[in-house]
Each structure stands twice: as structure tokens, then as C-alpha cells.
Structure 1
Amino acid sequence: MEHSSNPLKMEMEMTESEHVIVEIPINRPVNNDNIRSVAMEWVDCLTGKATTKSNEREQHMEKVPPLLLKSEKGRRNSECYEPAVVSLGPYHHNRPALAQAEKYKLITLEEYSLSTGKTIGTLYNMVFEVVHDARKCYIDGSTDDYSDHEFNQMMLRDACFILLYIERMPCGHTNIFLNNEYLGAIGFANIKRDLLLLENQIPFVVLEVLLKLKFPKDKGEEVLNKFFNYLNYGEVMIRKDKKVLEYKRPLHLLELYRSYFISLPTKDKALHEKFNYVKRNRAFASVTELKGRWIFLRCTSDDSTSDMEFNPYICYGEFMLARRAVCPYTKAIYLNMIAYEMCPHTPTDLRISTYIRVMKSLIIQRDDVKELRRNNILIHSLDSDEEVVKMYDEFEVPAVNYYMFNQLRLGIERLNESRYKTWGAELITDYFGSPWKTVGVLVAAAILVTSFLQTYCAIKQGN
């Protein structure tokens, strides 16, 4: 690759051992204004500036990139991209295995109509006003088999199904559990997973129309916040609400949840810092290894604007992580957010992929999960801590935002460069890491001192 005189170097980590360096010449003249605009947009994305910026290019409801399914892990995870109970949108519509949910949608349509005080015909007409915009959101040819009437019916049923679920599920509404009889308990439990699959989305413009019909704007945002809190932190967590619709209209629910998940972008502190590319293959140490170096995991505060942050101090460091809940469906949700970030025409800062790549490095064994739980960073409802380790091991992260990844890693490496800190940390970890180790060291020291005194006294008496 030919080097320009003043390039902005950004690197994207492709795997643990392979890397691609993307060089974007920010000062070189470009004939096509659109190409330059796209290039600068990627610069902003990769450096954490464009998480919430408007994307002027047309986006589509993408499918899972085929390359994600070609690796061994990708093939094992393939079922995580397919709906288990309910289809939403045209990509998996009319699949025989999902037929029971289609009957259930008719019930939720009627329930949503009654809750708004409007007739189903009124709801149909309101959605029909945006049906043309909604159809354009899908990949060319994927909606050709549906007339406007059929497509509008699909959008209406799916939107009412989604909105009724996200309104009632976090608060344990009585009706939502009574509806288990239509899908069964295990089927109903899988809806949360199916709602956030990449290929199982409907345009947010449709959800927005029906949401505004039932709720004022602030109340509608409150409904979305409560549902996302439920996904992020578990049903027992109380978390300050965020403004989920403060910026541009999202393409779909998965994109909106991703924006909520990653918090607001942090400010650039060292955009033009010279990175040490020799060390780029080195990943993070695990939680227990970091603790042995006096780098402790801490949970971020509720008002923090960063989901990952490293704070160095004189003799130790703090690795700040946002609190997250892990349940049996977290794997599928995370994989679909990674797939979204890997799709074309969706330039993002790869924050989800970067977060998961960091967690893969941190979680290697059961003790790592135990330490995260002890610090209230990770809450899980899996069968055991080993299941959490296994889940993160199954993730394949093709690319990360190297700028963000490297900022965290550089902070850790700089702290470790001070050898006296490392020696002190190793001394305390090896000999004072637990009460029993401390007692053992003290007993050994006492025996050593006693032996020395006895020997000294014996020599003195002999003289």
C-alpha cells in the first residue's frame, strides 16, 4: 500500500492474529466529494465520533453477511440468527415452524387496538401512510411477492406484537403471562431473543407511528427505556433512563438497542497518538491476571457516559466496565449486533464488537466470572459460571475499532511498564492473596525468626 504524506492511520483487528491497517488520507485532494464524505464519515466512526450522527446514505434491512457463517464457530452459531418462535418482516415470513405465532399476532393486534381506543381500521390506515417508506427499507426484491395491502397487514400485525411485548414484559403485566397458553412457556420466553435478530426486524418508522398513537413522546421513550433496561441489567435492576430517541430515527429496533447498549461516545483524547504497532497482536490479560498486577475491575456509575474506561493511578489501576446482564438469549442478541456492525452501508464505530472482544479477553476461566459478579459488573442467570465462559469463547469477532481497543490496552501496558509496581503486585498476590496465604507467610516468618534467635542465643551461650 502506498503511503501518503499525512495519513490518518486506523487499524481494525480482524482476529486475534490477523490485522488490516486502513489508511485514510485526510489531506489528499479527492475529485469526488461523495467519496471524500464517505471516507471522513469512516474516520469519525472509527474514532468514536459518529455513534449518533445522521447517516445520509440509504440503509436497508440487511441479512447476515455470509462470511460470518463460513468459519467453524460461524456454522455452530448459525441457529442464533434464525427466529425460533416468531417471524417479523418478510425474510422469514410464512415459515411453517413459526405458524403458531401468526395466530397469536391476531390477538395482540386486537389487544393493542383496544389499548389505544382506536379501531383496527384506524391503525391500518396510519401504518399505510408509511408503507411505501417501510417497503424501501428492505433489500430489493424481498417484498415483491406482497401487495401493498398484504405488506401493510404484515407490518401492522408485527408492530403491534412488538410494542405490546416491550410495554408489558419488563413490568410483568398479568396479560403477558396469561398469553403463554398460545405459545407455551418456552416459546414465549424466546420472543425476547427473536425481537433482536438482524433478519427479523421491521422498520422503526412503523413502530414510531403506532407508538405515538398510544403514548406522548416522553412516555413512548419511557416504554423503550424500561424494556432496554430489562435487557441490559435484568428485571430487578433500577437504572437511570437514557434518551433513546434523542438523535436520528433508527432503522430498526436492533439498531436502537445497540445505540442504547453502548452509551454515548467519549471525547477523543489522543486522536493522532503514535500507536505501537509492534504490540498490536497482544490482547488483554484475563480478570484474574489483571488483578494480580494491581489492576482492579470496577463497575461504572449510573451517570457514566462510557461503557469501558481505564483509569491509572500511582500504584494501581481501575478498569471500569458497565454493568450487564447475561441470560440464555444473550448469545443470540450479541451475535446479531455483531452481524449488524459487519453489514455494508451501516458505518458504525464497532462499539459492540469491541466490547465483546474485550470481554472475551477478560473471561477465560470461572474465577474471572466470579470476580466480575463480585464487583457487580456481570449478572447472569445461566446454570453456572462455566456457561458464561463457554458463551464468550463461542463468539467470533471479525473486526474491532482498534483506536478504542488500543486506548484501553495502552493504559494497561503503561502501568505495567513500572517494574516495582509489578513486583509489588506479584508479591502481594503470591503471598498475601488470601487469608490462608497471609497466615502461612506470617507463620513461616515467625518460625524463621524464632530459629534465628535460638541459633543466635546458642552461639552467645557457647562463647
Structure 2
Amino acid sequence: MEPQVWEPCRYEAADWSMEHHPVWIPGVPVPCESTEMACLEETLVARSSERGKQQQLFQYYTAAASTPSYEDDPFGVFERKALELEHDNDQWGRKMHRYPENIGEVGEQYTVPMMVSIGPYHHGRHHLKKAEEAKHVAAYSCIKHSGLSVQEMYHAVVSVAGEARSLYDRDTMAGIGDDDFLPMMFYDACFLVQFMLWSTRKGTMQLQMHPWLDYFLKSKKGDIYHDILLLENQLPWVVLKTLASCTSLNLESFAKGFQLHNSGIHVVVPNLDLEEAATTSSSALYKPPHLLGYVRFHIVGTEKSETYQPHKETKVKSFSVRAMELAEMGITLTPSKTTKLAHMGFKEGRLSAELFLPPVLLTYARASYLFNMAAFEMTSQARPEHAGEDTAVCSYVQLLGMLMDREQDVQELRSKRILQGGGGLTDKETLDFFTSLRVLRGPLYHRTIRDVEMYKQNSRTWVKVYVFWYKYKKTVLAVLSGIAALFGIYGALSKR
């Protein structure tokens, strides 16, 4: 594939002025004519300060981080706290959230990076230090690929760093100064952009990427894919998009590469052209907080689903049903015709019904994607009762968890192709994963369960007949076969 043509990065610097100070950014590589590798020499980079609203925001956070003094200005303390909460509420959907305490226990394999830290939450962990060296080489490759100078690339990141800083957890940022935060944003963004370019355009990128970095990404790609979709391992979208605009990276192509189903199995998607066009159109309008949110947007789907509205004429009791029990009630488990997680539901026929769910190949990586997307939904919804598709992952995980009570239920879901096999979690691991996340809640889950319960109530007689037939059909068939045999014997004797 030929490299795409891109325009040089365009970043807004209206609120920033250049203050040129000789600041050493450790490891910033500068290309030299004498060698391909970066020369480790001191580089003058542009250090920027905020103006206007950004400067006020910085002063506000500095004041908020200090110990309040009720003696000096008691009312000012309350006012500052009110402004703080108001700002957090306005920016809630864009925040770099931490894991919610009530999401359940799934283990560090779903919450802690294995190879690389992105952002401040896991920065400095001992087992992630090797990747810090890779980030320096990634910065060299990124600058070389962009055709810009070190100063231009670094200032592109610094120009949005004030906004990015305000999106992270305040307690965490209180102990991190700009001398650490700005290089962190720059290196992490360079590494992430280079990995995404390497993933989507390997053939052409290998010519422009340093061989050591190419080997590192190739040998650690599984761990890196896992790490960049952890909720607490994210860069604000404004930083990622700013640096990506300096290169030929297509963020949408990268995000669409993440799939929960087995791509080797053909899945029929009706009106594919229309669906792709709708996705592209919606993608242009969607403003994600970070990469995890953007990937989730493409996995879930773009069609808004109805929120849960209880039927007044039918009382829906809270109930649970296993996958093995659905067949007893005449309800067939069926893979959805699309792979979008929001496309789950219940369809009632004359003598039977169908519960359809998108298929998933549950490897360890995809289980991690599901968990982190669900955690993102839980933290990003200021008013979850108004959500529909916005909590589709929570609904999907909750519905699968409701269907599982023992390993036989997992096997039933596998036999129905809802859980695709091959290289994934064992039956017990799958059961433990979903049952540990039963605390999740989503309106799409309640809508589906409401429809199942209404079917049970409105077709009470037929359901009882079907249950009887399902349980005793072998006995009934044996009796009927015996009766038929007796009639055959009686007919033969009567002819004599």
C-alpha cells in the first residue's frame, strides 16, 4: 500500500507563547548526517506556558492542590471546591478515569500493563523500564517520518499539554511537575503513533523505522496491544490526535482492526456499504476521550438503541435463566448477523423465540478488551440511567454472565457459536470471568430480559408444553414407537 499524503500537523497555539529555554529532554534523538541512529546531544526545545483560560486553570489546580486555609479565606475554600466539581462534571466524559471500585475482581492481568506504560498512572514501574528505551527510538523514528524538526514535534505536544494535564486524576498529578509530565506526553505519544503506524502499514513503515524498534514491536506486539487498551493506560485524545496529524497515521483504520469475533469465520453483515458509510460519518463526528474509547466506539456500533422503559401493563420480575434452560422454553440462542455489541436482542415468533447475541472469540486479550471497555462505560457515564448504547458492553457482559452458572452453560454457548472456540479461555476460566462481572448494569440488558420475561408470561401455556416436550421427548417418542409397534403386530395378526 502506498503511503498516504498528509498535511503537516496543525495545532492551535493561540493561547501559548514561545519561551525559549535550554531544557534537556533525556533521550530526545536528533538525526545526524553521519549516522542513522540519533546522536545523544543536548537539544534546545521550546518550552511553552499557558495564557488566558489555560493559565487560569493551571493556577486554579495549583491552588486546589495546596492545603486549604480556612483562617485566610474560608469562603474561598468552598468556592474553589465548587468550581472544581463543576469543572470535573463538565469534563467528565473526557477524563482519564481510574478503575471503579465496584467493577469486580478480575486480577492484574486485566488492569496492569505488561510491557509499556502510557500516561502517568503506571509510569516508573520497574517491569516497564525496557519500553522506556523503545520510546526514545520511537521518538527518533516518529520525527524522521514526519519530516519536522524536534522543536516542532515537541511543541505540538506541549501546546495541548495543559489541557491534557487537567484530564488526569488530580491526586496523581499533584506529585508530577511539568519537567516530567511534558516529556512523558511526548515520548508516550511518539511510541503509540509509531506502533499504530507499524501495525497498519508494516510493509512501508519497515523502511523508515529503526531495525531495533521494528524487532521490539514485532516481539512484544501481543503485550503492547493488551496494554494500550487498558483504562488506566491512556493518553488524552487531544495529544494523540495532535501528534498523529504530524504523520500519515489513519486512526480510524487502526481502531477498526480490533475485533472480538474470529475474523477467519465469515459473518454476514447486511447492507455492508450503508453500514460502513454510516460508521465513517459517525466516526467523523465522534470525539473520544482516548484510544480505548475510540476502539470501543467501532466495536459497539453507532446506531443508538432505545433505553429501558418498563411496560405498565406487564410486571417484569427480576429473574435469571441459564443457557441450558433457554432451549427448554423454546428460546434459541443465535449469533447476531452483525458483530456490533449493541446489536443484541430478543425476537418472538409464533411457536418459538430467538435470543441473539454478537459472537466473541474469548482469548485473554479480548477478555481484557471487554473488561476495560465495560470499566470505561461505568466511569464515563455521569448519568447512566439515560444511557442506551453507551453502556452496551456492560449489557453484553451482564447478559452472558446471566446465562452462565456452570461449565455446561459455557459449552452450550460454544455449541451455539456465541462463544467461538480456538486458543481462548477454558470453560472454567470463561465462567469465572463473566460471573465475576455480574455487578455490571446496562439498559440494553434490562430491555432484553424484559422481552424474555414477557414472552414467558404471555406464552405461559405454550412454554409449559414446550418444557414438558423438551424434558420428556425421548420417553414420549419411545412410548409412541412402542404403540406403533403394537399396532403393527396387531395388524399382522388380524390378517391371519
TM-score, scaled relative to structure 2:
0.67
1:210 alignment partner in structure 2: 243
Letter in 2 for 1:204: W
1:222 correspondence with 2:260: no
Residues 448/380 of structure 1: CA separation in 2 closer, same or farther (3 Å cut): closer
C-alpha change, 1:77 and 1:140, in structure 2 (3 Å) is: same
Counterpart of 2:347 in 1: which secondary structure? strand
2:189 is aligned to 159
Alignment partner for residue 358 of structure 2, among 322, 335, 340? 322
Q: CA RMSD in A?
A: 3.8
CA drift of 1:87 comes to 0.9
Tell me by how many angstroms 1:181 deviates. Answer: 5.0
**Residue in structure 1 matching 2:349, options 289, 313, 325:** 313
1:31-430 → structure 2 map (5 Å cutoff)? 56-58=90-92, 59-68=94-103, 74=105, 77-169=107-199, 182=216, 185=219, 187-215=220-248, 219-226=250-257, 230-234=258-262, 236=264, 241=276, 242-243=279-280, 245-268=283-306, 271=309, 273-274=311-312, 279-280=317-318, 282-283=319-320, 285-302=321-338, 306-343=342-379, 346-348=382-384, 349=387, 350-382=391-423, 385-387=426-428, 389-401=430-442, 403-417=443-457, 418-426=459-467, 429-430=470-471
Give the match's secondary structure for 1:160. helix
Q: Give the secondary-structure state (helix, strand or coil) at the position aligned to 1:279.
A: coil
Task: Please state how far the C-alpha of 1:65 moved relative to its aligned partner.
Answer: 2.9
Size of the aligned set, in residue pairs, is 389
Unmatched 5+ stretches in structure 2: 1-84
CA distance in 1, matches of 2:368, 2:362: 11
Q: Which amino acid aligns with 2:393?
A: I
Instruction: Measure, in 2, the Cα distance between the counterparts of 1:255 and 1:130.
Output: 19
Residues 57, 345 of structure 1: 8 Å contact kept: no
- The residue that corresponds to 2:24 in the other structure is none
Q: 1:460 to 1:375 in 2, by over 3 A?
A: closer
Does structure 2 conserve the Cα–Cα contact (< 8 Å) formed by 1:369 and 1:389?
Answer: yes
Give the letter for the 1:60 counterpart: K
CA distance in 2, matches of 1:80, 1:114: 34
Asked if the contact 2:139/2:187 (under 8 Å) is kept, the reply is yes
Could you tell me whether the CA contact under 8 Å between 1:331 and 1:391 is conserved in 2?
A: no
Does structure 2 conserve the Cα–Cα contact (< 8 Å) formed by 1:353 and 1:397?
no
- In 1: Cα distance, 2:367 partner to 2:293 partner: 17
- Aligned partners of 1:369 and 1:385 also within 8 Å: no
Higher relative contact order (CA 8 A, sep 6+): 1
For residue 361 of structure 1, give the secondary structure of its aligned residue in structure 2.
helix
Pairwise CA distance, 1:163: 2.6
Q: Residues 420 and 394 of structure 1: is their aligned pair in 2 closer, same or farther, counting only changes over 3 Å?
A: closer
1:323 to 1:288, Cα distance in 2 relative to 1, 3 A: same
- Measured in 2, the distance between the counterparts of 1:62 and 1:406 equals 26
Q: Secondary structure at the match of 2:356?
A: strand
Aligned AA (2:445): F
Closer, same or farther in 2 for the Cα pair 1:294/1:180, shift >3 Å?
farther
Separation of aligned partners in 1, 2:305 and 2:238: 31
What secondary structure does 2:98 align onto?
coil
Query: Do 1:109 and 1:160's aligned partners in 2 also have CA atoms closer than 8 Å?
Result: yes
Judging changes above 3 Å, is the alpha-carbon distance between structure 1 residues 138 and 383 closer, same or farther for their aligned structure 2 residues?
closer
Measured after TM superposition, the shift of residue 264 of structure 1 is 3.0
Structure 2 residue identity aligned to 1:315: L
SS of the residue 2:284 aligns to: coil
Could you list the per-position Cα deviations for residues 136-175 of structure 1 after superposition, in whole angstroms to 9, with x for gaps in the alignment? 1112242344443532221122122223333433677695
Structure 1: runs of 5+ lacking an equivalent = 1-37, 39-54
Q: 1:306 to 1:199 in 2, by over 3 A?
A: closer
Greater shift, 391-400 or 119-128, is seen at 391-400
- The answer to whether the Cα contact below 8 Å between 1:286 and 1:361 also exists between their aligned partners in 2 is yes
